Structure 1
Amino acid sequence: MKSIFPEDKAELLTALFNTHPLLARLLKSGNVKLTGSSMPELAGDPWIPEPIMFAENDNGGSYSGYELKSTTTDPVEVISNAHYAVKQYAASNIAAHSYSGYDMLPPDDGELTDEAYRLMVEILAMHIGRSDGTGNDGKDLDGLPAMCSTKPNVYGGINRLRASNAFWRNQAWRARENGGAATKETILAQWDKLLLKLIRGEDKPDLIIAGLKVYSLFEDSLLVETRSVPEAPRLDINAPGSLAGFKPLSYRGIEVLFDNNVDPDRAYFLNTKYIKLRIFRDRNFVALNTTSREPRRPQALSWAGNLTCSGAQYQGVFDNSVD
């Protein structure tokens, strides 16, 4: 299969993506996608449309004989797409430069080093794990905290605070609202309650990404579970690892992986078939025009796109903080 990355850096970028759990899963499943076709599209602050799973219009339904039906003057809007802003990033080995997201650097004899690519992927992975999309005056991408919020927010251009948009809300388990922080003895029981909200027949999360504290609790729970139950159905400590370089632990058949970029007190229950990393074709890890006071302008690496989701209601967050 041909890589979506620039040919001369495909091997490097693939290796870098494979060092981060969610990026590795999305790349392996083909959910890292190119979008957009030409540079002028960036000039108008474009949005990435994402077809979504949505609720039925409440103004329609079944009836029998003479029966009053809803014909409100404020009909329920049927939403067919979420819209994600295109977020732009730049990375360079040299600090203190101004970047213009709309001008490409003319060819010169300078070359971007591998360190610039490494830095860019690290920044993207960090923001996917930690960004709620509001940082740096809204320039940061919409990461997992935006997708899987602990309280209703605006995500994908859809206001999840509105009751009519409740279908678009992710599932959440908040320790402070359920008796306090989980322990190694209770974490699996709490995970069970969250997971039940995310299962639809055979469709369920396929990846759990946990921060340091929650992952440590999960590891400690393995000993508790295997001591108390000879054949523990919730755990499989010998699960085959599908992502290279990651320790193969699982919970109810779902891979559980540690990610240092995730809040230490959180774990994200992800159904990754609904999640995509969309990259603009003309910002697919390419050189960007820079302005500096140095006689020779150095190159900077550019990237544009966003993390998108077509089924936010099938994603979950476990929040073990009590503050």
Structure 2
Amino acid sequence: MVAATTSETWDAAWTLTMRAHRKRLTDNISDSYPTLGRFRKAGVMEVETGGKEIQEDLMYGLGSSEWFDGFDVLSTNAVDGITAAFYQFRYNATSVVISDTEDAESRKAGSTKLITAKSKQAMTKSFDTVNSAIFGSQSGKSMLGLQDICAESTGTTLGGISQSTNTWWDNKREDFNASYTSFLTKSGDQYEGTLRMGAMWNECSEGNDKPDLILASFTHYGNYEAIFEGTGMTRFVESGKRAGPNFGLGAEGDVTFRGAPVIADRDCTTDNMYFLNTKYLKLKVQGGKNFAKTPFREPSNQLARVAFVVFGAQLVTNNRRRQGVLYDLA
């Protein structure tokens, strides 16, 4: 016997009001937003109160220091060595629209509240948009992304500072495909993928300053896992070992590389892997615009109510050379 079906076209109001059902709304469309989630949990998101721009003060040079004896003449030359990067806030709005007829039809006893469902729908879309923007590049009125901060090419300008004339203001980069075959190709007893991960790690490190978060697509996250699964060994975060320097960025069960959690994100460019030091990377959020919901208002010529989920922020860095990207991974 053929399964019973209905031929109704379901819109939001009908879905939430007709027939007996559990009071839940299950997301079947958006990507997860692991990177934004980790940023929020680990303090990478910082709230700023007011201001049109974000100023990050930078030190790029040191003064003179010399050994002397007795009445030696000492240098009094002034050394600048201090400047600032400036970033503008960017704003995103996601609408919540409910007509009077939808509102009336959704008042059936036991139905999911339409306003609750629509608000969740808008909030999910807002999270999804911001997480995607983190991995993108600035375009139009969007915020900066990792493709801007960890640029694949030289000579870029970020925060009003040109890397062409300020070599200290450049991220680390490596074109994997230019010299290597594939992530899982062996070079002696080692894999090309992990060899280049180690090289990029070292490039981004100095002393105790090391990457504390690695972001990858599911393709190369899977390749990294496959290397250890093939040997019967995996490096991961245990529940009893989460109080280290990366606490908050890592979660129990995360695969790690040299102590830093490796996170897969569907929004990450397929052939990129980012090595981040979140000590110098922040998602600055405008106070009062942290996924804030505006009051509902009625248009003058419609029987409906409109509200918005508003997010104002900018992705910034104050030490670009501590951030890196492996790109064109194969």
Fold match (TM-score > 0.5): yes
RMSD: 3.3
Aligned residue type for 2:93: A
Q: 5+ residue gaps in structure 2?
A: 1-31, 69-74, 99-114, 186-190, 243-247
- Residue 199 of structure 1 deviates from its aligned partner by 1.6
| Contact in 2 for aligned 1:214/1:320 (Cα 8 Å) | no
Using the alignment, how far apart are the partners of 1:140 and 1:77 within structure 2?
34
Is 1:193 aligned to 2:199, yes or no? Answer: yes
Contact 2:133-2:143 at 8 Å conserved across structures: yes
The residue type equivalent to 1:281 in the other structure is: G
8 Å CA contact 2:42, 2:249 repeated in 1: no
Aligned amino acid, residue 199 of structure 2:
K
1:214 aligned to 2:214? no
From 304, 309, 312, the equivalent of 1:301 is: 309
2:11 corresponds to which residue? none
1:188 CA displacement: 0.5
CA distance in 1, matches of 2:170, 2:308: 38
In 2, the alpha carbon distance for the partners of 1:158 and 1:79 equals 12
Paired AA for residue 27 in structure 1 = R
Query: In the alignment, does 2:263 pair up with 1:257?
Result: yes
Distance 1:193 1:250 in 2: 16
- The CA deviation at 1:173 is 1.6
Q: Is the 8 A contact 1:279 1:304 kept in 2?
A: yes
TM-score by length of 1: 0.70
- Change in Cα spacing, 1:245 to 1:118, as seen in structure 2 (3 Å) is farther
Establish whether residue 20 from structure 1 lines up as the match of residue 20 from structure 2.
no
Aligned residue for 2:204, secondary structure, equals: coil
| Contact map agreement 2:236 2:253 (CA 8 A) in 1 | no
Q: In structure 2, what is the Cα distance between the partners aligned to 1:244 and 1:186? A: 25
Whether the 8 Å contact between 1:275 and 1:308 is mirrored in structure 2 is yes
Q: Does 1:166 align with 2:172?
A: no
Q: 1:319 is matched with which residue?
A: 327
Measured after TM superposition, the shift of residue 297 of structure 1 is 4.2
What secondary structure does 2:304 align onto? coil
Aligned to 1:142: 144
More helix by share: 1
Q: Is the 8 A contact 2:171 2:321 kept in 1?
A: yes
**Letter paired with 1:279:** V
Deviations 1:120-145 (A, max 9, x none): 1111011112x211x2x2x1111111
For the residues of structure 2 that align with 1:154 and 1:180, how far apart are their CA atoms? 31
Give the distance between the partners of 2:252 and 2:289, measured in 1 at CA.
29
Q: Size of the alignment, in residue pairs?
A: 261
Alpha-carbon distance between aligned partners in 1 of 2:93 and 2:309, rounded to the nearest angstrom: 5
Distance in 2 (CA, whole Å) between partners of 1:312 and 1:291 is 46
Relative to structure 1, the CA distance from residue 288 to residue 55 in structure 2 (aligned partners, 3 Å threshold; closer, same or farther) is same
Question: How far has the Cα of 1:51 moved from its partner?
Answer: 2.6
What runs of 5+ residues in structure 1 fail to find an aligned partner?
1-18, 96-109
Letter aligned with residue 305 of structure 1: A
Q: Find the partner of 1:31 among 44, 47, 53.
A: 44
Q: Find the counterpart in structure 1 of residue 87 from structure 2.
A: 84
Structure ID, larger Rg:
2
How far apart in 2 are the matches of 1:24 and 1:113? 19
Report percent identity of matched pairs.
Answer: 23
The answer to whether the 8 A contact 2:96-2:306 is kept is no
Aligned counterpart, 1:310: 318
Instruction: Please give the alpha-carbon distance, in whole angstroms, between the structure 1 residues aligned to 2:172 and 2:256.
Output: 20
C-alpha distance in 2 between matches for 1:140 and 1:288: 21
2:5 aligns with: none
